[in-house]
Structure 1
């Protein structure tokens, strides 16, 4: 068909699809290219049905501090795709650092903005020397963070209240995620698994020629689960995860860790900025969301296996947390999958599952 001036404008129906994962990259000048490339290429493989690099399931934007081009430490020039806006409903904000000359003294307005989005519970990822930016913002005080061995001494001197980890590919401590460098593919894989499902995470690993680790081993090695310095809070979280399918009262959690509900409430709020009841509910909802993505179980079965007393209770809380019912969430994902299939029909037919 030949379009004329009178022809209606054709739009891509995929453009209206809500992505499962949105990431905003803030590229500091002289950033290290490899971890950024590993993270975004993993998102790219997980983003669509085939291999056209369409941003369907995952979306990402390139931003800089002054909305101007920046250079990677290898000399590659990158132009921003969007004006800087840390509040654009991103699931993660990535601070991509590199040469220390650019990250030792970040602008004060950026530090203040990072504090604000952390208070708003938007997870922040620091790649390479991006940890210096978070340290300057005071966001690493009392937190565990993964730091590259070449900058460890200076980092420890500047930020003595942070707990430096040297043997992890990344550390997630209460929404502050630090990755010392490398490819960042394991970090990306776990983000994709959490938001888009295991199949999409495996797709990226396969086509980047990276071996998929056992899920439990991967969690242990990469510190995916949030860690809190308060031993009792950490033990309570372990108990919650181990009993995710049990509708136990909070009294049982407190008893399991050797305290009473009131004291556990105080310790949770002080360490997680959340009550133990809300924290456990969010763990349950996240578990249920994974079951909706990766299984064909009905809503009632998922509700009960996630520790909710019944389906109605589960539906109310799911909608409150995610803005839609479990049925509409699952239906939307299936419609996305079907629409993506239609758009890519005839291409890459040798890969029907991805």
Structure 2
């Protein structure tokens, strides 16, 4: 039976532990056996959220099929000891997989496991990770990355996505889908997905008129929403609507609506919908339009 070892660092984030643990526990309930082990250098580990976790301090014997997950924490905290870092290196060298959730990437970096590999972490500390480990290839604004059995992620809720990815790798997409359905997860996000959804990325402004426009677009994004309708809803001129919206979000109302459509279409495609069905459901005329817009959004920006 494969073992999933959670290496707990003091001031660990509770969701970084609980999310992946729930995925593998649910997989076990559904017939894909796993043993979950919580390991730490001290047997009591305080979480940032105030709950104290119990862990064992003795390392179990590990095989290549076993996983080590290093959840993120909030500093300052005592880093992992040289002995613990050696254990991480040894497990990877024997063929094992190690996943760092959020700041867990720092432990992997200290162990030398990020050198020459693509990796990521939470968007607020990506620059710091790149500074600390210049031999790593830090990829910004992506949910998770796997490179030679080293998995890193943005952390918090994305730890669930990483765990589902690992279940998919080991047992196939159907098994991961069963786990996601049991956990009431509406979408299993691909690792290449942006860390911040368009629904939130463009909301860090104080313009109430634009917030009302965004509410309207998000509620009816599959419909045709002419500029005249948006102007009428806010009692502004069409020109004012465009100016305010672009100033607050960096996008036109149409571009914002298109981004929401594409995000929903990606989810539908990821759950097995055809391009034609996904295009129709989100309001595009046909699959050709969806393919063209997806290609455009994936293209690197002009320099």
One of 17, 31, 47 as aligned partner of 2:28: 47
Please list the CA deviations of residues 127-177 of structure 1 after superposition, one character each: whole Å capped at 9, or x if unmatched.
121111111111111111111122223222211111111222111010111
- The unaligned stretches of length 5 or more in structure 1 are 1-18, 50-54, 223-354
Is residue 172 of structure 2 the alignment partner of residue 200 of structure 1?
A: no
Cα drift, residue 181 of structure 1: 0.7
Structure 2, unaligned stretches of length 5 or more?
A: 195-303
Deviations 1:303-345 (A, max 9, x none): xxxxxxxxxxxxxxxxxxxxxxxxxxxxxxxxxxxxxxxxxxx
Structure 1 stretches of at least 4 aligned residues deviating more than 4 Å after TM superposition? 219-222
Q: Distance between the aligned counterparts of 1:152 and 1:48, measured in 2?
A: 36
Match of 1:61 in 2: 37
> Does the CA-based 8 Å contact 1:202-1:212 persist in structure 2?
no
Task: Provide the rounded CA distance (Å) in 1 between the counterparts of 2:77 and 2:113.
Answer: 18
Instruction: Check conservation: 1:34, 1:182, Cα contact below 8 A.
Output: yes
Query: Which of 171, 188, 202 lines up with 2:163 in the alignment?
Result: 188
CA RMSD of aligned residues (A): 2.4
Compared CA separation, residues 186 and 56, structure 1 to 2 (3 A)? closer
Matched, 1:31 2:12: yes
Distance 1:71 1:158 in 2: 26
Distance change in 2, residues 1:185/1:159 (3 Å) = same
Work out which structure has the larger RCO, using CA pairs closer than 8 Å and 6 or more positions apart in sequence: 1
Which residue does the alignment assign to 1:159? 133
What is the distance in 2 between the residues matched to 1:86 and 1:159? Answer: 29
What is the rounded CA distance, in whole Å, between the counterparts of 2:47 and 2:149 in structure 1? Answer: 26
Q: 1:132 to 1:75 in 2, by over 3 A?
A: same
> In the alignment, what sits opposite 1:145?
119
Structure 2 residue 102 is the aligned partner of structure 1 residue 121? no
Do 1:64 and 1:80's aligned partners in 2 also have CA atoms closer than 8 Å?
Answer: yes
Residue in 2 that maps onto 1:74: 49
Paired residue total: 193
Instruction: Write the mapping of 1:252-263 to structure 2, written as runs, cut at 5 A.
Output: none
**Cα distance change, pair 86–141 in 1 and its aligned pair in 2 (3 A):** farther
